[in-house]
Amino acid sequence: MLQKNTEGTELTTEQQIGYLEAEVSGLDSGSYKMTLSGKGYADFLFYPKVKSLPGIVIELKADGTPQAAIRQIKEKEYCEKLKREHPGKILLVGISYHTKKKEHQCRIEEYECSTGLSH
């Protein structure tokens, strides 16, 4: 089944896999509301329904690095909308997939909205 993002355009294969992973892991239920973004935006935004939980921004990269994905989140300010609606901590998640080696890597940084610093 082909998924579409909030603008109605088709999702990439990487986004569809990520969407299925989120459903399986339970991120798209109970504690979080998931938004599929797409071109020009982060691949996934997870808005916490419980204020004590962090927001989550996920960027997927094919044949890139997780560091490049996190850098893109910061440079393109993908977390701005989430930051306005959830002024607490946000997890920046970069996931890369090497298409030839069939391997993935992940990097997670905690972003503090009040200071703009990640660690």
At 109 the pLDDT is 94
Q: Which CATH number fits domain 13-118: 3.30.360, 2.30.30, 3.40.50, 3.40.1350?
A: 3.40.1350
Structure tokens at 100: 């030839």
Strand partners, 47: 33
Residue 93 and residue 59 in contact, taking contact as beta carbons nearer than 8 Å: yes
pLDDT in tens, 5-42: 444 555 565 666 665 565 545 554 566 666 655 556 77
**Which of 52, 14, 16, 59 lies closest to 32, judged by CA?**
52
Tens of pLDDT, residue by residue over 35-73, are 655 556 778 888 888 888 888 898 988 899 999 999 999
Nearest to 73 by CA among 107, 101, 23: 107
User: Which sequence spans correspond to the domains of the chain?
Assistant: 13-118
